[in-house]
Structure 1
């Protein structure tokens, strides 16, 4: 199953079928593709994957081949069109599975089984197959057949409850952050199963619940409740200062200061040793009770400095602080620029585009951007005729019958 184009990459001997229809599944398989796996994106005939209809689009004009979201999520993949719910489509799908290590899908529980292409059916054809199913709530339980959006999962997982200002309603993360986290977890789980299959020649079924993925990745607020019985309030812990985002001369910076040593270092950066020598702020508990007064002094100092100055002074004093950057600022950030994180891709019909690069660096088998996101059904002949051996005449007939 080696991918000859990417034979020097870490995952070049792995083939993946991407049957997903959301960001989490597409990002999961994008990670495989970026490190050399041969990822085949199966799309519905005619209109293709749903993300092709989601922007941004050049000049705000929607087009199947110019969706920024689709291009970002599907670089380094190949595309075929196939109606797997039709008899002829299911037959071709089963043939393709014999050449596959991993399938990633996001259908509701029981959907693929109703067409005879669930895990039990596919594992009979390929016992080494790993089948990863990403759903909002998992394959079992009272919520199994419920649908949920990105924000719905964020709320249901408990992650939304502590997020936001103290005197406001809970707030969501930015769009799709949750989906990327779920996709990352799915990629790790899938990779573990595929590697085990390579050794043991036995595949597995991965039941990936988005709700449980987020809850399992929750910060120590869960532990706080388990040990104390108390729910931590939004944004600020019951003890400590400074915590959260604060204004400065040209924007905002964020702090996460709790223990005495970090608070003392922050006061030193402010050239205010007198603050931590005052009993009002000599313990985390006292700082929590008098946080509003301290915040006022901190903001007064911050408003005399821009983000870079605050960041550099805090780093020099080993204080946990970071500027809050916008995306246009990140494109020029010296840390990201020095590591070559942002890459330029050439997309057919659109020219050069900027995209994110490797989320982690492998020294000997590096990430590589080898092919742009595919056009709809671009690789139909390559895969159906060259790999599966059907004739051009058969391919044309399947297209006429809307199977591909």
Structure 2
């Protein structure tokens, strides 16, 4: 291979954001995950943390199972894989000056506190004078500008309720007065917002690359959650004004109403969806064409199956209870009937498709037990099939480990100056 071809191949498999410099000055999970996604795409991400204590996310579990408590946070490792960590207090005059110098070399500034920038006299106009092509991205919970005032505290739980998503996803239940709507599981809101913010950052970087001018972007968790309410908003738009969380057995529901069934197996559950007539016929053939399947009034057409879904669920369960999830899944797929096993965490870690796609990364941490962690939610390859090169071993940045590289090599300070700044709590 000649030199020209080697150069072309190297460019073809280079990370898309190689050469892009990102500063993350935040204390939130959505902002951290946004920067993590950009790092996976090749950007150089510098995470600025408070001197001494570091990011509060370092003290939030889960932690490595066999590491000293609080010594190695798995969540922090996942959110900050591959980043550089430097400590800096911009509220100190010397820290503010160093912060400005770092901004001069950055392409993107990610923050979770836009008001904090204003307190440092770093409004949009000032930032543009420092670095005209700088893209600033504020990843907030509520938004900087609030017509009805900004609440003093936010959690995923309160945000999902305020945005209406908790109420939407909570139906149907047997006793709405006793069974309150629940919030999204785990950290769904934070991670979804991080992906949305990363997408917004890419658009901002693209525009800055094209015209040399940066923009200020804000991505609020409230907006991201509200954006999930596509169906309820559409229903309201066509005139539906009433909404009930009561499970009406005879009418069925979206999940179990002649279109989809949740059926028990020897080792768990499967979800099946023989919604089309030809799928239904293949499904009951798979079940051995039992006597009940030939009753036209019970299940001859979809309308009958909608009305009799509970009876049909009982009848079908007699067969599925005698088989494993894998057996039902494989047989249904072979019969071209939509069917998937209901998976738990262990099932996902052992999922052949996810492992074949290299979805999981590995993290050793301070303990002796390596852990699997989700990688990118997408796969990137060149037209020739070369995969995007990225580190598959998760590396959690040690607090302040990049201080010398940042303040001495990048900004030109001497080792003595950095040590003096450290003693005064600036870095």
> TM over 0.5, yes or no?
yes
Alpha-carbon distance between aligned partners in 1 of 2:329 and 2:317, rounded to the nearest angstrom = 14
Alpha-carbon distance between aligned partners in 2 of 1:11 and 1:86, rounded to the nearest angstrom = 32
Alpha-carbon distance between aligned partners in 2 of 1:47 and 1:350, rounded to the nearest angstrom = 25
Alpha-carbon distance between aligned partners in 2 of 1:271 and 1:324, rounded to the nearest angstrom = 23
Shift of residue 225 of structure 1? 3.5
SS at match of 1:300: helix
- 2:271 aligns with one of 254, 271, 290: 254
**Residue 217 of structure 1 corresponds to which residue in structure 2?**
228
**Residue 398 of structure 1 corresponds to which residue in structure 2?**
421
- 2:310 aligns with one of 268, 292, 309: 292
Is 1:243–2:293 an aligned residue pair? no
Equivalences for residues 321-340 of structure 1 within 5 A: 321-340=339-358
Describe the shift of the 1:342–1:239 C-alpha distance in structure 2 as closer, same or farther (beyond 3 A).
closer
SS at match of 1:62: coil
- Alignment TM-score, normalising by the size of structure 1: 0.88
Alpha-carbon distance between aligned partners in 2 of 1:252 and 1:143, rounded to the nearest angstrom = 46
**Residue 173 of structure 2 corresponds to which residue in structure 1?**
166
Alpha-carbon distance between aligned partners in 1 of 2:45 and 2:255, rounded to the nearest angstrom = 47
Matched pairs, number: 397
**Residue 250 of structure 2 corresponds to which residue in structure 1?**
none
What's the C-alpha RMSD, in Å, of the aligned pairs?
A: 2.8
**Residue 379 of structure 1 corresponds to which residue in structure 2?**
402
Q: Is the 8 A contact 1:241 1:263 kept in 2?
A: no
Give the unaligned 5+ runs of structure 2. 1-9, 248-252
Q: Is the 8 A contact 1:225 1:231 kept in 2?
A: no
Alpha-carbon distance between aligned partners in 2 of 1:87 and 1:174, rounded to the nearest angstrom = 42
Q: Is the 8 A contact 2:67 2:367 kept in 1?
A: no
Alpha-carbon distance between aligned partners in 2 of 1:394 and 1:282, rounded to the nearest angstrom = 83
Shift of residue 8 of structure 1? 2.4
Is 1:202–2:213 an aligned residue pair? yes
Give the unaligned 5+ runs of structure 1. none
**Residue 120 of structure 1 corresponds to which residue in structure 2?**
125
SS at match of 1:354: strand
- 1:62 aligns with one of 66, 69, 77: 69
Equivalences for residues 3-402 of structure 1 within 5 A: 8-57=14-63, 58-59=65-66, 61-64=68-71, 66-107=72-113, 110-141=115-146, 142-164=148-170, 165-167=172-174, 168-229=179-240, 230-231=242-243, 233=245, 236-237=253-254, 240-243=257-260, 245-255=262-272, 260=277, 263-272=280-289, 275=293, 278-281=296-299, 284=302, 286-347=304-365, 352-364=370-382, 366-369=388-391, 372-402=395-425
Q: Is the 8 A contact 1:264 1:276 kept in 2?
A: no
Alpha-carbon distance between aligned partners in 1 of 2:236 and 2:82, rounded to the nearest angstrom = 44
Q: Is the 8 A contact 2:261 2:313 kept in 1?
A: no
Q: Is the 8 A contact 1:267 1:276 kept in 2?
A: no
Alpha-carbon distance between aligned partners in 1 of 2:200 and 2:294, rounded to the nearest angstrom = 46
Question: Considering only CA atoms, is the larger Rg found in Structure 1 or Structure 2?
Answer: 2
- The more displaced of 152-161 and 383-392 is 152-161
Alpha-carbon distance between aligned partners in 1 of 2:134 and 2:273, rounded to the nearest angstrom = 44
Alpha-carbon distance between aligned partners in 2 of 1:325 and 1:131, rounded to the nearest angstrom = 39
Alpha-carbon distance between aligned partners in 2 of 1:221 and 1:264, rounded to the nearest angstrom = 33
Shift of residue 283 of structure 1? 5.5
Shift of residue 299 of structure 1? 2.4
Shift of residue 389 of structure 1? 1.2
Shift of residue 280 of structure 1? 4.5
- Alignment TM-score, normalising by the size of structure 2: 0.84
